[in-house]
Amino acid sequence: MDELNRKKVLEVKHLKQYFNVGKKDEVKAVDDISFDIYEGETFGLVGESGSGKTTAGRAIIHLYTPTSGSIKFNDQEVIGMRDKQKMQQFRRDMQMIFQDPYASLNPRMKVKDIIAEGIDINHLAKDDDDRSKQVADLLETVG
């Protein structure tokens, strides 16, 4: 299936994330990146330590307000999104997975509970049985 027939889920165009803009210690953490992610596609953002991968991810999921550029998720512009319900839905639909599991996962928690955190935070399970089924389905999906 070519790009013309697949749904574009994420479109990032000319994304820039600068810190301390206009100051002596200005940092251009992300300087003009563009890419598209299509439905069913696995996308990996790779680069050396300090190259801006995490900063790009944080800008894309709107933890940072980008300096400039465009981020469209399911054809809806994310930059400047003000509607609280739309932002809540966006955060349900898009999340980051960090490369270092020891920095982002609690080794004292069960895998089931780590995976269910997003389900719990977003109130997506009707009860404990539904929660367990959703976790099992997710594990099955990712193999």
Q: Is 114 exposed, middle or buried (0-12, 13-18, 19+ CB in 10 A)?
A: middle
Same domain for 42 and 109, yes or no, is no
Query: Is the same domain home to 59 and 112?
Result: no
Q: Are residues 16 and 76 in the same domain?
A: yes
Same domain, 109 and 75: no
Name the residue among 86, 62, 78 with its Cα closest to residue 11.
Answer: 78
pLDDT per residue of the chain (143 residues) written in tens, 0 to 9: 555 678 999 999 999 999 999 999 999 999 999 999 998 888 888 888 889 998 999 999 888 999 999 999 999 998 888 888 888 888 888 877 666 666 667 788 888 998 898 889 888 899 999 999 999 998 888 87
Residues 17 and 44 grouped into a single domain: yes
Name the residue range of residue 55's domain.
1-95
- Pair (33, 70) in one structural domain: yes
Q: How far apart are CA 128 and CA 140, in angstroms?
A: 18
Predicted structure pTM score: 0.68
Query: Are residues 79 and 138 part of one domain?
Result: no
